[in-house]
């Protein structure tokens, strides 16, 4: 499977994908890394000819930026678009352009804690458990069908950083397992419903 990865920062999830491909545990290729931050460390993890980055401030509005990003994604020939540490909201036109082929890893047990600062919010809420979710991307933020989740305990004395580290360690195997499922071709998302081998889950 050809993967396009969207990242805005460090790219530890991208690194996990590259490591799994190198280890032969994920039958895929990263055809490009795409970022809204030209200085993102994630971009340095692939050769220059597989990088696309642009600053939103160089575009008149979100739609224009998303159109440029969408054109680059389409040109990459990616089968799947993987948002892994991508910190910009994807506009509706861009999401619809890749409907059913775009997934995101979000650091919470969706539908709990959509949006930002999820670890601090989980602690604040007194949650006993927290974790990460891989879900299909729809226009509504962090709201598409959930493909898989990983759970961790929230421990006494946790702060956002210790909890984030515990979650991040589980994100990587969760993302690889999810991408193996998608690369197998057995899982589809249609109209918000997950389908396995053509059957509604």
**HSE toward the beta carbon, residue 63, CA cutoff 13 A:** 1
For ligand GRF, what does the binding mask look like between residues 148 and 187, x meaning CB under 6 A? --------------------x--x----------------
The annotation status of 87 as a binding-site residue, yes or no, is yes
The annotation status of 178 as a binding-site residue, yes or no, is no
13 near ligand GRF, judged by CB under 6 A: yes
Q: Which of 85, 91, 131, 144 binds ligand GRF (CB under 6 A)?
A: 85
Is residue 190 within 8 Å of residue 197, measured between CB atoms?
no
Q: Which of 3, 30, 33, 84 binds ligand GRF (CB under 6 A)?
A: 84
Q: What is the dihedral of CA 148, 129, 160, 6, to 10 degrees?
A: 10
Is residue 76 within 8 Å of residue 98, measured between CB atoms?
no
Distance in angstroms (rounded) separating the CA atoms of residues 106 and 132: 6
Q: How far is the CB of 136 from ligand GRF (least distance, A)?
A: 15
Residue ranges in contact with ligand GRF by CB under 6 A: 7, 9-14, 84-85, 105-107, 132, 168, 171
């Amino acid at each position: 499977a050809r993967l396009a990865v969207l990242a805005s920062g460090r790219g530890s999830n991208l690194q996990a994908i590259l490591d799994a491909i190198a280890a032969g545990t994920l039958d895929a290729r990263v055809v490009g890394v795409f970022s809204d931050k030209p200085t993102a460390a994630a971009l340095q993890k692939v050769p220059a000819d597989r990088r696309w980055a642009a600053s939103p401030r160089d575009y008149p509005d979100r739609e224009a930026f998303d159109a440029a990003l969408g054109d680059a994604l389409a040109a990459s020939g990616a089968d799947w678009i993987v948002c892994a540490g991508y910190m910009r909201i994807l506009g509706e036109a861009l999401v619809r352009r890749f409907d059913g082929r775009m997934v995101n890893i979000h650091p919470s047990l969706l539908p709990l804690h959509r949006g930002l600062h999820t670890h601090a919010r989980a602690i604040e809420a007194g949650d006993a458990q927290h974790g990460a979710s891989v879900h299909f991307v729809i226009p509504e933020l962090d709201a598409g069908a959930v493909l898989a989740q990983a759970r961790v305990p929230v421990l006494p004395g946790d702060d956002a950083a210790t909890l984030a580290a515990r979650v991040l360690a589980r994100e990587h195997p969760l993302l690889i397992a999810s991408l193996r499922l998608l690369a197998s071709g057995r899982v589809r998302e249609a109209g918000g419903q997950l389908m396995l081998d053509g059957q509604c889950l």
